[in-house]
Chains A and B, each alone.
Chain A
Amino acid sequence: MALTGVEIFKMLPKTNCKKCGFPTCLAYAMQLAQRKVSLDACPDVSEDAKQKLGDASAPPIRPITIGAGARAVKVGEETVMFRHEKKFVNPSILAIAIKDTESGDAVAAKINDCLTSEIDRVGQKLKIDALCLINESNDAGKFEALARAAAEKAPAVAVILSTENVDAAKAAISHFAGKKPLLYGATEANAEEMAKLAKASGASLGIKANGLDALSTLSDKVKGLGVEDIVLDAGAKTAKEMIEHNTYIRRAALKKGNKSLGYPMINIAIRENNMLETLIAGLGIAKYASVVVLSSAEKWKNLVMFTLRQNIYTDPQVPMQVEQKVYEIGNPQANSPLLVTTNFSLTYFIVAGEVENSKVPTWLAIMDCEGLSVLTAWAAGKFTASKIAAFIKESGVESKISNKELIIPGYVAILSGALEEKLEGWKITVGPREANALPSYLKSRTA
């Protein structure tokens, strides 16, 4: 049962040494009680207290790292069912499946797809995180050959080894010493040997069972065999089963304190129809999967999945911001209009979308207002005449345009006088209040 902050405090050293990063032991205890921090942050806690606090302080969904080095990926540690409650913590890993029955060229092409998958979107670097090597042949030699190829060509990439064949697993895992692969293939039948192999290789262990009851039993079994890092698969074959399993597992861990299922989940999204596969992957991303396995990683598909993952894992309590700069929409020329607004991502997306709609090439100056919308930023003193003037001057846009005219949002019409004073030689024009009036506004200016 969960302990209260005060109960935890009684077991801490009470030295207020601040080594944990909190001002007092009590403050730290409160954070422990809410499972926001780990007990590892306290260097002086006694072994006895560790034992007692271990269960209470452990996050409800265990954090697990797959891979090592710069491309290691962390999953788990989730704390809520719905993203409005609190940020989803560690984004789902996307993995491309490669079967050991595929040709050398196909294998090389998929590894290359993974290595070249990185895309920059709204300031974040997004990519395919892992390779999932599948022992389709059930042959140890073939699986090892695939493992060797992956280890050679993509040495930094996190790897998932999917096999229920212990000999094949042994042969393949030898190529990932020190690289924390996910050994995905412990079942009721092979649990002892797989657990042993995972422990000996420093791998996390993916366990597969048919249904949640069997999975829960298997989880307890491998934990009893000394495996700590577990990834769950209840054998979902359809989207219907996926949402059922994933919801029950997440709920059991978060709301019932179920330790047997307090681990990240893996889902296989592979489908014949690639478009459907993309949507199934989306289901995994939105509904609690920590690892989603795909059959392919075309660039268009990656962009769709990466963007969804970014949207779902955005912190709902921190306004999403876009970079401060003058955006060029539709190849603007010297005589194109110049608009200014704030860097709240929704403001940017809606304004940029409507400007695109207008088909009028436009300079769109996006000013850093800490992610606030126009009226809020104005009220908070972040979108004022002097700050806008300073931003426009420093942006260098002046050298790109022929007539110095700045169009401001209709909601801050009140700023136009002050802006004309601060921006000498500029004409300040009041634009529409709402973005949806921009297309007709921009078109009428050029007409």
Chain B
Amino acid sequence: MAFTPPKETNTGKVYSVTMGNGEKAVTVGGENVLPFHGFEGVVPNRPVIAFDVLDIAPVDWPDTVREVYAGVSDDPVKWAKYCVEKLNAKAVALRLASTHPDNGNRSAAEAAETVKKVLDAISVPLIILGSNHAEKDADVLVRAAEVAKGRNCVIGKAQEANYKTVAAAAMAHDHLLIAMSELDINLSKQLNIMITQLGFNKEKVIIDPMCSALGYGLEYTYTVMERIRLAALTQNDATMQQPILGDVGMYVWKIKEVSASEDILPAWGAMKERGIGWEAQTAAALLMAGAGLLIMRHPDAAAAVDAFITELM
């Protein structure tokens, strides 16, 4: 008997979201099927990998990934240019880590200055992230959004505690917005609704349901992303149709598996490959669950994920 493929088409569709402007602008989303299901629908855009750049030299990164940026990590402008020019980054995520009260407590004005310099140096889309201190981020991101006006950046992360201020800043200066909640589809949906109730365009939001590393709760992130995508596609839930962010690097490059040497744990094998593999596999798993935008750190991990995407498209 001839086999008829059991195709499933959906009523819903993920919004196409374009970041940046000009020739280097990139678009994510736009698919009307589950990740990489081009065989039963439309998957118009490749997922995008943004490279993580800090505004302060990363003292606590494991050597495997710190060494890669040893010559440039003292200056975010050099670092961002290195990612674009040498590593062929399609987007950069500038993390204003030094604004955290425990990590230098740099002022919003200083941070804005850094944002401006980085923007002047690169033409690829820029994701501007605070230090994940809800209160301070509200200050920092308002100033950052202001100086980044006209560049169609991605501002983040808006969370329950600061979304009004952060969303207002992104809206006032025509940026996109990352909405972050903690590993729960209902919280994610609720935050999206609250943000759109402020008058923010729902098609300019990117969902961050909170990342977790392989072996450290990845299954939760994987399943929340998968459920968000199913809600968007099969239930046509307009509050869940935004592209999803996997903020992979920062969750991976702090765990034991990427920093414990083979001398201490021979059963775990070569440390460098293990670290790169860990970041790559975390990212690849989240792509399969529905992430369309990734923030990564090690260029070899990013290259492997890029090759993986190429084979899947």
Contact = CB atoms under 8 A, between A and B. Distances in A.
Interface of A: 82-84, 119, 121, 212-213, 215-217, 220, 238-240, 243-244, 247-248, 251-252, 255-256, 258, 260-261, 273-276, 278-280, 282-283, 286-287, 298-305, 307-308, 310-312, 314, 316, 320, 345-346, 349-350, 353, 356-357, 359, 436, 439-440, 443
Given A255-B6, A260-B3, A356-B254, 18 more contacts: A82-B223, A213-B2, A215-B3, A220-B1, A239-B312, A247-B37, A248-B39, A273-B304, A276-B308, A276-B311, A279-B281, A280-B311, A287-B288, A304-B274, A304-B277, A307-B214, A346-B183, A356-B255
A238 B309 CA distance: 11
B156 to A, nearest CB: 16
B217 interface: yes
Contacts, number: 174
A83 B256 contact: no
Nearest to A441: B102
A240 B46 CA distance: 13
A298 B269 contact: yes
Nearest to B310: A239
Given A279-B308, A280-B311, A357-B254, A300 B102 contact: no
B280 A275 contact: yes
A236 B271 CA distance: 32
A283 B300 contact: no
A366 B35 CA distance: 37
A4 B170 CA distance: 56
Given A84-B223, A240-B311, A345-B217, A303 B255 contact: no
B118 to A, nearest CB: 25
A303 B268 contact: yes
A216 B5 CA distance: 11
Interface residues of B, number: 59
Given A220-B1, A256-B6, A308 B307 contact: no
B3 A301 contact: no
A257 to B, nearest CB: 11
B281 A119 contact: no
- Chain A interface main SS type: helix
A258 B280 CA distance: 35
B5 A311 contact: no
Nearest to A213: B3
A280 B308 CA distance: 7
B132 interface: yes
Given A83-B223, A298-B273, A304-B278, A212 B5 contact: yes
A260 B222 CA distance: 31
B273 A240 contact: no
Given A279-B305, A353-B255, A440 B102 contact: yes
Interface in B203-239: 212-220, 222-223, 226-227, 230
Contact of B288 (A215, A286, A349): A286
Closest 4 CB pairs of A and B: A299-B269, A300-B269, A300-B274, A239-B311
B281 A278 contact: yes
Contact of B3 (A212, A239, A303, A311): A212
B51 interface: no
Nearest to A243: B36
Given A279-B308, A283-B288, A443-B102, A308 B281 contact: yes
Contacts of B8: 251
A286 B308 CA distance: 14
Contact of B307 (A255, A276, A282, A302): A276
B1 A216 contact: yes
Contact of A286 (B132, B268, B285): B285
A436 B307 CA distance: 34
24 contacts: A220-B1, A244-B39, A247-B39, A248-B39, A256-B6, A275-B304, A276-B311, A279-B284, A279-B307, A279-B308, A283-B284, A286-B288, A298-B269, A308-B281, A311-B215, A311-B218, A312-B222, A345-B217, A346-B183, A346-B212, A349-B215, A349-B216, A350-B217, A356-B255
Contacts of A247: 37, 39
A276 B213 CA distance: 18
Nearest to B282: A308
A282 B285 contact: yes
A374 B277 CA distance: 32
Interface in B256-313: 256-257, 266-271, 273-274, 276-278, 280-281, 284-285, 288, 300-301, 303-305, 307-308, 311-313
B54 to A, nearest CB: 15
A389 B304 CA distance: 49
Given A275-B277, A286-B285, A353-B255, A304 B214 contact: yes
B71 interface: no
Contacts of B281: 278-279, 282, 304-305, 308
Contact of B217 (A282, A299, A349): A349
A299 B278 contact: no
Nearest to B226: A82
B23 interface: no
A85 B278 CA distance: 27
Nearest to A277: B304
A426 B288 CA distance: 49
Q: Which of B60, B213, B269, B270 has the most CB atoms of chain A within a 10 A radius of its CB?
A: B269
B150 interface: no
Contacts of A350: 216-217
Contacts of B301: 275
A300 B212 contact: no
